[in-house]
Amino acid sequence: MTLPMDTDVPSSPTDRGAVAVAMRDITVRFPGVLALDGVDLTLHAGEVHALMGENGAGKSTLIKALTGEQRIDAGTITVDGRVRELRGTSDAQEAGIATVYQEVNLCANLSVGENLMLGGEPRRRGAIDWRELHRRAGEHLRGLGVEIDTRSRLSGHSIAVQQLVAISRAIMQEASVLVLDEPTSSLDRSEVERLFAVVRELRDRGVAVLFVTHFLDQVYEISDRITVLRNGALVGDYPVDELPRPELVARMIGRDLDELEALSDSSARVIDRSGAPVIRARGLARRGALEAVDVDVFDGEIVGLAGLLGSGRTELARLLAGADHPDRGHLEKRGTPVRLGTPRHAIAQRIVFSSEDRRAEGVVPDLSVAENIVLGVQARRGWMRPIAAAERDELVARSIAELGIRPADPNALVRNLSGGNQQKVLLARWLATAPELLILDEPTRGIDVGAKADIQRKVAELARAGLAVVFISSELDEVLRLAQRIAVMRDHRKIGELDAREVGLDAVVEMIAQEDPAPSPEPATSAPRSRT
């Protein structure tokens, strides 16, 4: 396939490439929901086009319509001037649309070269010609500026390299359209750079790139145009320099920016630390996970745990929540010593924990929203005392309304909810148990701006009403905005505490990055809970 030719689709200004993809009036209905309502999307050759919107805005559905995974109920998809009916991923591939997903969709058990060539292996006399295969794969990778041994197993490479291989594979099939569905979510800064270099190279070759991400920085770094969706409908299609960042956010969430700004300056609140703390940890430690930590959380206080992934922040949260056993140290709740052997004990003490891995350790995907919310209350009561249906319905309805869970359907399966809404369900579950200490590990990771703001607002509100909160987030500005006190973690130790009213982002970053007098030989990766 060659680059797109002139088409009969409405043409673009002369300074842009030809129209590569024109999606018109795309409508997709799910049972009870209009997922996409007459959405248009136009991709031009040689440009990077960002698709933005909250979770649930219809981004994934639109992408799936383009990659052939989702049948459309109405509308047309024109690729390179030809109207296409995409009935499956292979149809899309044939049309020249290649997709790279958030999770690397390659076979880690095979070699790099094979992952590139699988399905299109060069053959000689009926048998796969391995030498030729690796030669072509290597040539192709080098063409994109990637130098790796094509005979090595993919599983031995970092996610970033795997992602590059995935992109290379996508491009190998002479694709004229490349869809990048949150490819950067698990990459670090330098890895993102490497990926963007490849994306720019492709753009310059005339490939139309559709880029989906939650990271606004990256949108502004690499995109030429932005299409914004909200609630399944098109908000607009803008050149990137005509849509400043606050405008973009406002259009994505359809709310006034002031409202966002007004998100209570929670961190400025003065906390009364005169009484007994809700929880007091002294010398809490666990071998291989955490060195002795002291921490207090008082009524109405939000304590932020700042630190890099693997710094021990999750480990501390788990010890406070009874999810892991401490080897040493002790805990006091309101002045009374407690032993939290299991999360069950913790729940009995009204200490609840929302894990960073919400799919595996949080929600039960195959249960409904209502069932997921009621789980916590039921666990507290014990299974012998069922909750009356009326009470249950009332609780669920209240939770859905308060947290703004979408869809507002108690019977929807949680697996079908977006990440942000799953997180809200999880929060609702624990709030229903009337906790005294709420421990949130990365509650806003991987969720969209709107849901993020909802959750932050809710947490701030709860704390104002007297709830003690431990809040973990990789996004330091979020921690700074919410928490009144910040415990900084590094190398499985607490290295200090900061008063959020007095310090800024820089101070926290500096503390995290401080040179350690006794550098630990194996940072981050040895933390047992960090699986990334």
Partner 1 sequence: MTDTPVALGARPSLRERADRFRARRASWIPVSAAVGILVVMFAVGQAYFGNFLTPRVLSSLLLDNAYLIVLAVGMTFVILTGGIDLSVGSVMAFTGILCARMLSEGAPTGVVIPLVIVLGALMGLATGVLVQVFEVQPFIASLAAMFAARGLAFVVSLSSIKLEDPFVLALQSTRLAGGGWYLTPTGIIAIATVVIAALVLHFTRFGRTVYAVGGSEQSARLMGLATARTKVLAYVISGTCAGIAGVLFTAYSGAGYPLNGIGTELDTIAAVVIGGTLLTGGTGYVLGSMIGVFVYGTIKVLISFLGAEQSWTRITIGALLLVFVVVQRVIVARSSRS
What are 381's two structure tokens? 């009561």
Residue 239 pairs in a beta bridge with 225
Closest distance between partner 1 and the C-beta of residue 138, in Å?
Answer: 8
Q: Closest by alpha carbon to 503, among 518, 519, 520, 487?
A: 487
Closest distance between partner 1 and the C-beta of residue 523, in Å?
Answer: 15
Q: Write the CA distances from 72 to 37, 314, 417, integer angstroms.
A: 11, 42, 20
* Residue nearer to partner 1 on the CB measure, 70 or 227: 70
What are 407's two structure tokens? 């869809």
* Residue nearer to partner 1 on the CB measure, 88 or 283: 88
* Residue nearer to partner 1 on the CB measure, 194 or 345: 194
Closest distance between partner 1 and the C-beta of residue 357, in Å?
Answer: 15
Q: What residue ranges bind partner 1 (CB under 8 A)? A: 89-90, 93, 99, 101, 104-111, 114, 118-119, 121, 126-128, 147-149, 151-153, 155-158, 161, 169
* Residue nearer to partner 1 on the CB measure, 308 or 348: 308
Cβ atoms 307, 490 nearer than 8 A: yes
Closest distance between partner 1 and the C-beta of residue 146, in Å?
Answer: 9
3-state helix, strand, coil in the chain (%, to 5): 35, 25, 40
* Residue nearer to partner 1 on the CB measure, 407 or 523: 523
Q: Write the CA distances from 341 to 248, 315, 338, 345, 416, integer angstroms.
A: 47, 15, 9, 6, 33
Closest distance between partner 1 and the C-beta of residue 187, in Å?
Answer: 13
Q: Are strands 279-286 and 233-239 parallel, antiparallel or unpaired?
A: unpaired
Closest distance between partner 1 and the C-beta of residue 108, in Å?
Answer: 6
Closest distance between partner 1 and the C-beta of residue 149, in Å?
Answer: 4
* Residue nearer to partner 1 on the CB measure, 217 or 366: 366
Q: Three-state SS for 37?
A: strand
* Residue nearer to partner 1 on the CB measure, 27 or 186: 186
* Residue nearer to partner 1 on the CB measure, 75 or 523: 523
How big is the chain by its Cα radius of gyration, in Å? 25
Closest distance between partner 1 and the C-beta of residue 105, in Å?
Answer: 4
* Residue nearer to partner 1 on the CB measure, 333 or 492: 492
Consecutive H or E run containing 252: helix 245-253
Q: Closest by alpha carbon to 196, among 221, 220, 214?
A: 221
What are 408's two structure tokens? 């507002």
Q: Closest by alpha carbon to 178, among 106, 98, 105?
A: 98
Closest distance between partner 1 and the C-beta of residue 384, in Å?
Answer: 33
Edge-first strand order for the sheet with 437-441 is 351-354, 437-441, 468-472, 302-306, 485-490, 493-499
